[in-house]
């Protein structure tokens, strides 16, 4: 099995369909199918079962997975090391963060980077999912979780505060929540469990067992917009909500905190363009 075929195999294994694998690899779906058929023929083994719900690995496919992942690790390490000694201030840098941090910090940093180094091309992805830097899904990440992998370098950017907010009209209709009663009689807008599991139990340190969940979202921008529309009490970053004339702080003395981290793979720390992008992001947090 060569690396090109291993890439095809891994994409199908991880995505479950030829279409999704083709999109991941940015190649034609028919090409993925032909390459898989050729790979299975060369190995003399069936790697996947074709089912109505997608492609499921056979026992032979499960055995092939470990070998394919070792090839992937070696190929990605080679790529990172070569990029790590690249002194050019040009080329692509892939950055991932949440939509709210992109809007409030990262986009401004990338604008300044573009002014200084216009030949660097930024590929920005906004998602609440944790992107793998080890698999080169991104070069830099701005996250609220500190990574534990020894291959990743993390730098603390800032500590931010969160509070509870609602609109004045909502509070006039429902009244101010009473601390300690689980937000009884109130609607709340929270993150989906896959994004922030703690929201199923508490927001800003207050239990939510007596509240009615009006909406669950997977986007920070959707969260703040739902609060602005008066859908309920919402936990929001104070730097976003305090200056918003549509929102009122609930219990101003109540505050929770979160940390923001810049993360990169250690192999990329010497790449000039990655380093330039990292420095631009770091400079966006002068109060760190």
Residue 253 lies in a domain: yes
Is position 56 within any domain? Answer: yes
Cβ(263)–Cβ(143) below 8 Å: yes
**Residue 276 resides in a domain:** no
**Would residue 70 count as lying in a domain?**
yes
- Domain membership flag for residue 170: yes
Please report, for the domain that includes residue 17, its CATH number. Answer: 1.10.10.10
Which pLDDT does position 230 carry in this prediction?
97
Report if residue 16 sits inside a domain: yes
Instruction: Count the domains in the chain.
Output: 2
Please give the residue range of the domain that contains residue 45: 3-84
| pLDDT, tens digit, 9 for 90 and up, residues 48-76 | 998 888 999 999 888 888 888 888 777 77
Nearest residue to 60 (alpha-carbon basis) of 7, 104, 23, 9: 9
Residue with tokens 């509240």: 211
Residue 139 lies in a domain: no
Write out pLDDT tens, residues 127-163: 766 655 555 678 899 999 888 888 788 999 999 999 9
* Structure confidence at residue 288 (pLDDT): 44
Q: What is the CATH number of the domain that holds 203?
A: 3.40.190.10
| pLDDT score of 160 | 93
Is residue 55 assigned to a domain?
yes
Residues of the chain with confidence (pLDDT) below 50: 288
């Amino acid at each position: 099995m060569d690396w090109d075929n291993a890439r095809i195999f891994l994409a199908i294994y991880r995505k479950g369909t030829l279409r999704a694998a083709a999109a991941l690899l940015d190649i034609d779906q028919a090409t993925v199918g032909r390459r898989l058929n050729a790979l299975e023929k060369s190995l003399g083994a069936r790697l996947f079962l074709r089912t109505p719900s997608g492609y499921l690995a056979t026992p032979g496919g499960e055995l092939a997975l470990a070998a394919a992942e070792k090839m992937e690790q070696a190929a990605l390490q080679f790529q990172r090391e070569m990029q790590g000694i690249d002194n050019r201030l040009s080329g692509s840098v892939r950055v991932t963060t949440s939509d709210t941090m992109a809007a409030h910090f990262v986009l401004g940093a990338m604008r300044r980077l573009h002014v200084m180094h216009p030949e660097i091309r930024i590929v920005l992805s906004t998602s609440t999912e944790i992107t793998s830097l080890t698999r080169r899904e991104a070069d830099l990440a701005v996250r609220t979780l500190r990574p534990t992998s020894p291959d990743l370098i993390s730098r603390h950017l800032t500590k931010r505060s969160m509070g509870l907010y609602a609109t004045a009209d909502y509070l006039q209709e429902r009244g101010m929540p009473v601390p300690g009663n689980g937000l009884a009689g109130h609607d709340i807008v929270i993150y989906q469990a896959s994004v922030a599991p703690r929201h199923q139990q508490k927001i800003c340190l207050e239990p939510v067992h007596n509240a009615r969940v009006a909406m669950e979202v997977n986007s920070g921008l959707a969260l703040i917009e739902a609060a602005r529309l008066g859908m309920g009490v919402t936990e929001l970053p104070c730097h976003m909500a305090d200056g918003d004339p549509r929102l009122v702080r609930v219990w101003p003395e109540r505050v929770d905190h979160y940390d923001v981290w810049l993360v990169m793979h250690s192999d990329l720390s010497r790449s000039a363009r990655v380093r330039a992008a990292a420095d631009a992001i770091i400079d966006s947090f002068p109060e760190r």
